[in-house]
């Protein structure tokens, strides 16, 4: 049964048991409503406690229900049943009480939580806002300013903070939770509903400060949620609740909310792909070879998640920087320090011989059971593995800079990687709190491969007539925080330059190649770290400024290619970049580097700052009419017929089959191939 009922004298305890996280769905709501109705018929009843089995109270609602009509009883209907009852209710909260779970708790007269409790309103992350009274009751309980912060930040608060701000009434030891909740409900003299209270009167300056703290780039639903909190605090409860529910119902049907839910489920699919039939090994001790920018970031990341970290590098200065950043990490200039690690991550220079030499020396030192992972961005993992006596324990574990902040990690099993070591790496990714995707061996794997075509198309556009600022501005208009040229300056132009040199010998001589990036690098302009890249960085400047020197290099390259520059609008820039990413995705899926196209949307949104509210590049184009997509792909094909040969059917007005396969797999259920609601 989803709801278990236990009578403790004059109190009934209703226990929600809907594993794994007690998420609210139609069956759970119906069971809870029925159990409340039955409990209210108990003679001599003085109160009801709502508790939970498992580790969590009620970790939000089942997002899968939000695309259609919500079955009755809805959560507001269950809450109305709670609030109309003649006896008081107490929520006994442990673990997560999120979204609808927190709204249910706020409908109770009191909230008793144990020390594991974490409470919050995550709705704004899904393009919506609380829809069962969260904005209304939170404002009446903790005040409009605090409620604005909670609702708009989607931040989870722990038990002690929740007590301090007044969100909960008691914090008790886990073993005492039910006893304390029963005692609390017995001690109540009638009902004390939050909805009947007058919201605390915050100073107007305090409320304005809370509103001003909302990020400038916050999506419209976030600001709408804040407005509802402030407005609802002044309205009668019925009106405020009705306005909130209407806004919730409107927003959950928007493409933005649908796309954010799509990403949520895509991330879950990606996580499942990292699990195998084998059991993961325990990893407690991690070795990192290389103390550069990536190695130091990895040390910060692993140590912050409780791993025992040892960093090895031949440069004492680099080790000193790691020791300063991660005091708990052991540092050494000898690989012998890694003799007891469970996992070792190679973060040395991106060169095949350097990595192979490392593995030859490393393999006999680390325990036979240890997993060996390379953080290579582009190199062939199967070739790297040829120097190992036991390649079954070797795989790629590709982090993105800066690894302590970037959410994306690619797990790349090589040809002979065992299922057990793959499962171990997947388990590590989860413990690190990262979004992991499974990738196959191939140049750039998934994220960098797609981004390479994005960057390449940006360079084509530059050569044809757009300038650096045009391209960056267009992508910012699409929703990126910064454009591709500004990103390149941040990461360093030498990284892509090294890749171009490595691929030069195998590049088809007929394939289009833009010399402008090479000219910029040859001029010593390697990005922010050298004070100049695609942009100039005058001393003290917070951001780059357009560079006359770069424009001269662009003009020279165009002249060498006999290109007469033309004006290129922002829409063409955006469409061609999106089309290039779609072409890369179709290639990756067709050759098996990724098994599910949705992983590409996950990679681009989590690792490369593609605007999440659009759902990713594939999801974005899946909403376009097929004729429009074909036209875009024809333009992309024309920009480089050899590099984008997969798109050749588009030149005849036909959507290429690999592209159709990709788009169909990510397309919203309510959208046809012609991009209209079915």
CATH number at residue 563: 1.10.1040.50
- What pLDDT sits at residue 505? 84
In a domain, 223, yes or no: yes
The answer to whether residues 535 and 553 belong to one domain is yes
**pLDDT tens readout for residues 392-414:** 999 999 999 899 999 999 999 99
Burial label, 613 (beta-carbon count in 10 A; 0-12, 13-18, 19+): middle
The three-state secondary structure class of 34 is helix
Task: Express as a percent the part of the chain with pLDDT over 70.
Answer: 99
B/e letters for 82-97, b = 16+ CB within 10 Å, e = fewer, are bbebebbbbbbbbbbb
**What does the block give as tokens for 75?**
């959560």
Count of domains forming the chain: 3
The answer to whether residues 456 and 536 belong to one domain is yes
The answer to whether residues 422 and 465 belong to one domain is no
In a domain, 274, yes or no: no
The answer to whether residues 35 and 164 belong to one domain is yes
Model confidence at 649: pLDDT above 70: yes
- What pLDDT sits at residue 221? 97
The answer to whether residues 486 and 568 belong to one domain is yes
Sign of torsion, CA 152 157 162 168?
positive
The answer to whether residues 478 and 348 belong to one domain is no
In a domain, 129, yes or no: yes
The answer to whether residues 197 and 330 belong to one domain is no
Model confidence at 677: pLDDT above 50: no
pLDDT band at residue 273 under the 50/70/90 scheme: very high
Nearest CA-CA partner of 446 in 411, 480, 415, 475: 411
Model confidence at 515: pLDDT above 50: yes
More confident residue, 542 or 47: 47
In a domain, 490, yes or no: yes
pLDDT band at residue 675 under the 50/70/90 scheme: very low
Task: For 429-482, give the DSSP string.
Answer: HHHTT-EEEE--SSTTTTHHHHHHHHHHHHHHHHHHT--HHHHHHHHHHHT-SS
**What does the block give as tokens for 587?**
């290639």
Catalytic residues: 103, 123
The answer to whether residues 417 and 537 belong to one domain is no
> What are the backbone dihedrals phi and psi of residue 61, each rounded to the nearest 5 degrees, phi first?
-100, 160
**pLDDT tens readout for residues 83-115:** 999 999 999 999 999 999 999 999 999 999 999
Domain end (from 442, 463, 493): 442
- What pLDDT sits at residue 670? 65
Helix or strand (DSSP H, E) at 114: strand 110-114
In a domain, 621, yes or no: yes
Pairing of strands 330-332, 157-158: unpaired
Lowest mean pLDDT among 132-146, 191-205, 454-468: 191-205
The answer to whether residues 180 and 294 belong to one domain is no
- What pLDDT sits at residue 641? 97
- What pLDDT sits at residue 548? 97
In a domain, 258, yes or no: no
The answer to whether residues 347 and 474 belong to one domain is no
CATH at residue 344:
3.40.50.720
Neighbours of 566 (CB within 10 A): 8
Lowest mean pLDDT among 56-65, 539-548, 641-650: 539-548
Sign of torsion, CA 278 281 282 286?
negative
Domain range spanning residue 198? 3-249
Model confidence at 634: pLDDT above 50: yes
Average pLDDT, the chain: 95
Q: Evaluate if pTM is beyond 0.85.
A: yes
In a domain, 156, yes or no: yes
More confident residue, 638 or 501: 638
- What pLDDT sits at residue 511? 92
In a domain, 678, yes or no: no
pLDDT average, residue stretch 368-382:
95
pLDDT band at residue 543 under the 50/70/90 scheme: confident
The answer to whether residues 407 and 458 belong to one domain is no
pLDDT average, residue stretch 112-135:
97
Domain end (from 392, 412, 442): 442
Domain end (from 249, 272, 306): 249
Task: For 568-582, give the DSSP string.
Answer: --HHHHHHHHHHHHH
> What are the backbone dihedrals phi and psi of residue 159, each rounded to the nearest 5 degrees, phi first?
-60, -45
Neighbours of 568 (CB within 10 A): 18
- What pLDDT sits at residue 671? 55
pLDDT band at residue 190 under the 50/70/90 scheme: very high
The answer to whether residues 397 and 453 belong to one domain is no
pLDDT average, residue stretch 18-27:
92
**What does the block give as tokens for 164?**
């301090």
d(CA 10, CA 389): 69
- What pLDDT sits at residue 311? 97
pLDDT average, residue stretch 279-301:
96
CATH at residue 104:
3.90.226.10
């Amino acid at each position: 049964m989803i709801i278990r009922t236990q009578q403790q004298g004059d109190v009934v305890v209703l226990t929600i048991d809907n594993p794994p996280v007690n998420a609210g769905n139609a069956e759970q709501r119906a069971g809870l409503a029925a159990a409340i109705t039955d409990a209210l018929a108990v003679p001599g009843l003085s109160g009801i406690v709502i508790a939970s089995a498992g580790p969590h109270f009620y970790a939000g609602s089942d997002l899968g229900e939000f695309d259609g009509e919500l079955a009755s009883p809805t959560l507001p209907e269950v809450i109305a049943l709670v609030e109309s009852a003649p006896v008081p209710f107490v929520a006994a909260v442990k673990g997560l009480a999120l979204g609808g779970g927190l709204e249910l708790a706020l409908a109770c007269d009191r909230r008793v939580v144990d020390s594991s409790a974490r409470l919050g309103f995550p709705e704004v992350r899904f393009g919506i806002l609380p829809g069962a009274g969260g904005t209304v009751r939170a404002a009446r309980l903790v005040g409009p300013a605090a409620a604005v912060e909670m609702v708009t930040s989607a931040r989870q608060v722990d038990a002690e903070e929740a007590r301090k701000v007044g969100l909960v009434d008691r914090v008790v030891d886990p073993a005492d939770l039910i006893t304390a909740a029963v005692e609390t409900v017995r001690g109540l003299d009638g009902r004390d509903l939050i909805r009947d209270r007058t919201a605390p009167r915050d100073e107007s300056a305090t409320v304005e400060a809370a509103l001003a703290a909302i990020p400038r780039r916050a999506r419209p639903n976030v600001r709408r949620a804040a407005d509802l909190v402030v407005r609802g605090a002044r309205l009668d409860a019925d009106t405020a609740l009705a306005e909130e529910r209407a806004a919730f119902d409107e927003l959950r049907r928007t493409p933005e909310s649908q796309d954010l839910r799509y990403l949520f489920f895509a991330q879950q699919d990606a996580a499942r792909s990292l699990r195998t039939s084998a059991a993961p090994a325990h990893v407690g001790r991690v070795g990192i070879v290389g103390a550069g920018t990536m190695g130091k970031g990895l040390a910060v990341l692993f140590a912050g998640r409780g791993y025992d970290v040892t960093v090895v590098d031949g440069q004492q200065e680099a080790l000193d920087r790691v020791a300063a950043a991660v005091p708990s990490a052991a540092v050494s200039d000898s690989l012998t320090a890694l003799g007891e690690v469970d996992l070792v991550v190679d973060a040395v220079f991106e060169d095949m011989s350097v990595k192979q030499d490392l593995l030859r020396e490393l393999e006999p030192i680390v325990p036979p059971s240890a997993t060996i992972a390379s953080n290579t961005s582009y190199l062939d993992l199967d070739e790297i593995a040829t120097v190992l006596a036991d390649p079954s324990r070797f795989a790629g574990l590709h982090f993105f800079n800066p690894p302590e902040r970037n959410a994306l990690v690619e797990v790349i099993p090589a040809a002979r990687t065992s299922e057990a070591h793959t499962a171990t790496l997947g388990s590590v990714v989860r413990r690190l709190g990262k979004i992991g995707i499974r990738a196959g061996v191939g140049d750039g794997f998934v994220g960098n491969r797609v981004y390479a075509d994005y960057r390449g198309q940006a360079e084509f556009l530059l050569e044809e007539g757009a300038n650096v600022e045009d391209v960056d501005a267009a992508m910012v208009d699409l929703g990126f925080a910064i454009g591709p040229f500004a990103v390149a300056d941040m990461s360093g132009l030498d990284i892509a330059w090294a890749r171009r040199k490595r691929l030069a010998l195998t590049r088809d001589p007929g394939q289009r190649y833009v010399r402008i990036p090479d000219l910029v690098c040859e001029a010593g302009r390697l990005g922010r770290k050298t004070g100049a890249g695609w942009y100039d960085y005058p001393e003290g400047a917070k951001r780059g400024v357009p560079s006359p020197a770069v424009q001269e290099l662009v003009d020279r390259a165009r002249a060498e290619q006999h290109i007469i520059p033309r004006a290129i609008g922002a829409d063409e820039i955006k469409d061609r970049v999106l089309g290039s990413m779609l072409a890369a995705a179709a290639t990756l899926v067709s050759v098996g580097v990724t098994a599910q196209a949705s992983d590409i949307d996950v990679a681009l949104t989590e690792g490369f700052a593609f605007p999440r509210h659009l759902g990713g590049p594939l999801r974005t184009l899946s909403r376009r009419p097929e004729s429009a997509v074909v036209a875009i792909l024809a333009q992309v094909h024309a920009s480089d017929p050899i590099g984008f040969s997969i798109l050749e059917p588009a030149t005849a007005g036909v959507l290429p089959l690999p592209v159709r396969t990709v788009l169909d797999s990510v397309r919203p259920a309510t959208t046809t191939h012609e991009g209209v609601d079915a």
